[in-house]
Amino acid sequence: MFVVKVGGGAGIDVDNVLVDLASQREPFVLLHGGSDETNEVATKLGHPPRFVTSVSGYTSRRTDKETLGIFSMIYAGKRNVEIVSRLQQLGVNALGLAGVDGRLLEGTRKETLKVIEEGKRKLIRDDYTGKVEKVNVALLRLLLENGYVPVITAPILSNDGEAVNADVDRCAAAVAVALEAEELLFLSNVPGLLRDLKDPSSVVSSIPKAKIDQYVGFAKDRFQKKIMGAVEALDHGVERVVFSSANIPTPVRAARSGAGTVIS
Amino acid sequence: MFVVKVGGGAGIDVDNVLVDLASQREPFVLLHGGSDETNEVATKLGHPPRFVTSVSGYTSRRTDKETLGIFSMIYAGKRNVEIVSRLQQLGVNALGLAGVDGRLLEGTRKETLKVIEEGKRKLIRDDYTGKVEKVNVALLRLLLENGYVPVITAPILSNDGEAVNADVDRCAAAVAVALEAEELLFLSNVPGLLRDLKDPSSVVSSIPKAKIDQYVGFAKDRFQKKIMGAVEALDHGVERVVFSSANIPTPVRAARSGAGTVIS
């Protein structure tokens, strides 16, 4: 059993991943993003994306109620339907789920966001984000045992029954842990963790799990959350986490046989 | 077992329906629309809705590839997530599915639409619509038996594995037939089938199944497809179809105890 997260950034060849997934023999679960298209549609709808930086230095999408609606449109609507129908076309019996469905992914909504804006600390209270804390693994097993391939995305469900934005990389880690998956693959538009962001040939090819702390410094922006996801997964039983490109030939096979950055 | 379709037209109080559904003891399946919000968002995105009239006189949404994407955003994304999370908040273990998920709803894509435009017949070839022909009832039973309440919407899956727009009223009829439901309720912004469209007190209170042909003439526009759905359901074993208002107190209970138009 392996878990794949394919990103939603600009220039990620999702179809390339789906075609390769359709030829895999082992069971898998797919998670996907949708950030780039969410930004585009939000801008067209007159509600352009904003990002906030927390006091601890992490960047995340500012998700007011209107943004949550747009986020749901793209992640759980357009992208999920596109991926599920394409997999069906490829012979995979895909079934799309947002985290809210059957309480698949639950977490606590952050009541306040502590952010830095123009050098000042600020509290935001109307944000709809949370972090996944609980996976309904019985639902995933029920579907897998009956031949369905779950295709999962955000939003997730808060403890108060509200839909909230959550980082899909960390959702992927939580799903991999819950399913006791051997491998967790993050496929995106970079070939792996780079020593030098400007040099694609500077991929760190392998990192022993125990030494991951030494490499966290290389991770920038959104990659930080992938690393957090990787650490969470490895700490809870996943054997191998791979960061690799979605855009190379047979990207799933490549990642499973050592392309990109392998942490184990 | 009963099946409810709540419309997506302007002025339909969906929350009123969800609150009442949460107090029902019998198992149910919910289907929902999203037409009004799809029109709004399509207009904001610079791709305003268009409707075509078939040579046989039925009106339907012109669904080119871009419209299909917007349709998926609202139906399978925003509205489905909102309804599922609200039901979860009300204590119902709702699980959202588009027709593409696990091949829940399958049908044939109309290769060409024969429409009348400005008095002339015209063929449209790039339309993504279809009619549901097959329900994956095993998936619905699997979910129901395990305590999940399916919340279903379009798009459905074509035989070629493409996502296509389909009339959700007729999807509801197909689901009710497949599940051998006793009752199928259509809740919308009208109190029932009206003898006089301008007079809300002219509701036809009951129609014997055998005499439905005499009443089809009263149905206008979108109501025609509800009637087609009703006939399909009644012809295939559903005992009672009700057209009633979503906006009256306890609208589900009211419809189940005879409010609106009851066809049996």
pLDDT in tens, A89-132: 999 999 999 999 999 999 999 989 899 988 899 999 999 999 99
Residue of A78, A140, A156 to mutate when probing chain B, most B C-beta within 10 A: A78
Spell out the SS3 assignment of chain A.
CEEEEECCCCCCCHHHHHHHHCCCCCCEEEEECCHHHHHHHHHHCCCCCCEEEECCCCEEECCCHHHHHHHHHHHHHHHHHHHHHHHHHCCCCEEEEECCHHHCEEEEECCCEEEEECCEEEEECCCCEEEEEEECHHHHHHHHHCCCEEEEECCEEECCCCEEECCHHHHHHHHHHHCCCCEEEEEECCCCCECCCCCHHHECCEECHHHHHHCHHHCCCHHHHHHHHHHHHHHCCCCEEEEEECCCCCHHHHHHCCCCEEEC
Indicate the helix (H) or strand (E) that contains B105: strand B105-109
State the nearest Cα–Cα gap between A254 and chain B, in angstroms. Answer: 27
Percentage of residues in chain B having pLDDT higher than 70: 100
Q: Share the mean pLDDT of chain A.
A: 94
The 10s digit of each residue's pLDDT in B48-69 is 999 999 888 888 889 999 999 9
Q: Do the interacting molecules here have an ipTM over 0.85? A: yes
Q: Work out the average pLDDT over A12-24.
A: 98
For residue A171, give the CATH number of its domain: 3.40.1160.10
- In this predicted structure, the answer to whether residue B10 has a pLDDT above a threshold of 90 is yes
- Taking CA atoms, A36 is separated from A7, A75, A128, A174, B234, in Å, by 9, 10, 19, 23, 46
pLDDT at B72: 98
- H helix and E strand count, chain B: 8, 16
pLDDT at A216: 80
CA A11 to centroid of chain Cα atoms: 16
Residue A95 and residue B102: Cβ atoms within 8 Å?
A: yes
Domain with A76, as residue range(s), is: 2-263
Q: Which among B101, B110, B103, B104 is positioned nearest to B128, based on CA atoms?
A: B110
CA–CA gap between residue B148 and residue B141 (Å, rounded): 10
Question: How many domains does one find in chain A?
Answer: 1
The 10s digit of each residue's pLDDT in B18-27 is 999 999 999 9
Q: Which among B95, B107, B43, B28 is positioned nearest to B74, based on CA atoms?
A: B43
- In this predicted structure, the answer to whether residue B220 has a pLDDT above a threshold of 80 is no
> Which is more confidently placed, A146 or A53?
A146
The 10s digit of each residue's pLDDT in A81-101 is 999 999 999 999 999 999 999
Q: Does A90 touch chain B (CB under 8 A)?
A: yes
Q: Does A139 touch chain B (CB under 8 A)?
A: yes
Residue A72 and residue B72: Cβ atoms within 8 Å?
A: no
The 10s digit of each residue's pLDDT in B99-136 is 999 999 999 999 898 999 888 999 999 999 999 999 99
- pLDDT range class, residue A224, cuts 50, 70, 90: confident
- In this predicted structure, the answer to whether residue A222 has a pLDDT above a threshold of 80 is no
CA–CA gap between residue B237 and residue A130 (Å, rounded): 46
- In this predicted structure, the answer to whether residue B245 has a pLDDT above a threshold of 80 is yes
B24 SS3 class: coil
Indicate the helix (H) or strand (E) that contains B208: none
Residue A81 and residue B139: Cβ atoms within 8 Å?
A: no
Q: Does B40 touch chain A (CB under 8 A)?
A: no
CA B51 to centroid of chain Cα atoms: 17
